[in-house]
Amino acid sequence: MPTPQEPQKKGPTTEKTKSSKGEKRMDLKWSEADEAFREEVRTFLKENLTDDLKEAGRLMTSVYADHEASMNWQRILAKKGWAAPAWPKEHGGCAWTASQRYIFSRERVAAGAPPLSPMGIQMCAPALIEFGTPQQKAHFLPRMLSGEHFWCQGYSEPQSGSDLASMQMSATEDGNDLICNGSKIWATHANVANWIFCLVRTSRESKPQLGITFLLIDMTTPGVSVQPIVMSSGEHIQNQVFFDNVRVPKANVIGKLGDGWTVAKYLLEFERGGVAYTPEFHLMLDRLRTFAHSVPGESTPRLIDCPVFAAKLAAASVRVETLEVYELRTMSAISAGGSPGASASVMKILGTELHQHITELWLEAAGPYGHAYQPHAARPGGPVTLPHASGTQAGPLAAVTAPLRYLNDRAGSIYAGSNEIQRNILAKAALDLN
């Protein structure tokens, strides 16, 4: 039997059984190796999660954790060799199966550990591993793991968001360099990143997808500047990045000049469908149930006793369970050697819209405490720049953080390709509608 660290040929298996009433059903079966791996993960989390890291995970207000806590957690994982679950072992990764990655994700969330920033390890790295040269892999991948290089993404532009192929940032050849001019917008954590992976236009072609190049740019290069974009929650997480005659070596091109669209599409599969949403959803709903069952006061009824809210909570639970089955099916296909394909778009749509729905339920449950702006009670994913009070929060902590998560998650159905675009992709790729 393989050890938990060894690659397995199969992930979770399914067996057709019959219930006592005779109807067929599908049961998920984890292998013995998967069960052993789960125990190994639980032991590691118990031994390595500090109180500060747990607080950072528990008090998140967006999909991004407190930056300092996230980087501390990355260093702990890197020391263990667990910072890059999906990377091949030859590049410092774990080479975990899809089922092991799912198990780790669920146990991490349950234990309260903060997530790592996805930009480098989960997004840029797969593109590097697939399309990069040996020299590029040897230079960039170890620095991604250690956190020496912290990455942000340069895809969207002020006039080119969901229509990514219309991007205009130029990169003109000049000997062994490219001279870059233009700007990128909605660049998460560009204010703390020291590297950015960008799509730039190196030529004008009849088809807009042609002439685009995938380029890695050092953020400390002269001509790079960053301006903050403050979210409605008051947090500085998003940014606009400007490039004014920025000189970048051609050696930083991933793939070939003009072939960046191929690299970008490959990367987007990991951005849209490279994560499991439901482990976090289970935790959010468990906390919401606990809050709804609490007794707020002698004369105030419990929220769970309201049949309308109880029905909403039950319906959300059904949606989470349904999405989890879809994720597990996709995971099983990946374990068998497949790729997410159109499933990446399905999971992005269902995951982000369900996440928004759960934050709406939390805001409803928070009641009057959801009207107050109290970011000081949380651990936001970036500096809070809007004026706010400090000190003791007013109301239960779970209710105080509800409006912050609600405001942050309005962007969920837009980032990584808006959900309208994802539906267009599915119409063409899955339904053959042109």
Pairing assessment for the beta strands 236-249 and 195-201 based on DSSP bridges: unpaired
- Beta-strand runs (E) in 269-356: none
Record the pTM.
0.84
Residue 29 burial (C-beta neighbours within 10 Å; 0-12, 13-18, 19+) = exposed
Predicted pLDDT of residue 23:
45
Predicted pLDDT of residue 337:
65
Element (H, E) at 197: strand 195-201
Structure tokens at 155: 């895809």
CB 274 within 8 A of CB 266: no
**Nearest by Cα to 266 from 206, 334, 344:** 344
pLDDT 10s digit of each residue in the chain, 434 long?
A: 233 333 344 445 444 444 444 444 444 677 899 999 999 999 999 999 999 999 999 999 888 899 999 999 999 999 999 999 989 999 999 988 888 888 999 999 999 999 999 899 989 999 999 999 999 999 999 999 999 999 999 999 998 766 788 899 999 999 999 999 999 999 999 999 999 999 999 998 888 889 999 999 999 999 999 999 998 888 899 999 999 999 999 999 999 999 999 998 888 776 555 567 898 999 999 999 999 998 666 667 889 999 999 999 999 999 999 999 888 888 777 666 666 677 888 888 999 999 999 999 999 999 988 888 888 888 988 888 887 777 777 888 888 889 989 988 888 888 877 888 889 888 887 787 77
**Nearest by Cα to 357 from 415, 281, 292:** 281
Residue from 157, 269, 271, 327 carrying the catalytic annotation: 271
What sign for the dihedral angle of Cα 378, 381, 383, 384?
A: negative
Question: Domains in the chain, ordered, with CATH?
Answer: 26-116 (1.10.540.10), 150-259 (2.40.110.10), 275-429 (1.20.140.10)
Residue type at 100 in one-letter notation: Q
Predicted pLDDT of residue 14:
44
Predicted pLDDT of residue 340:
66
6 is catalytic: no
CB 144 within 8 A of CB 124: yes
How far is Cα 312 from Cα 364, in angstroms, rounded to an integer? 11
CB 254 within 8 A of CB 127: yes
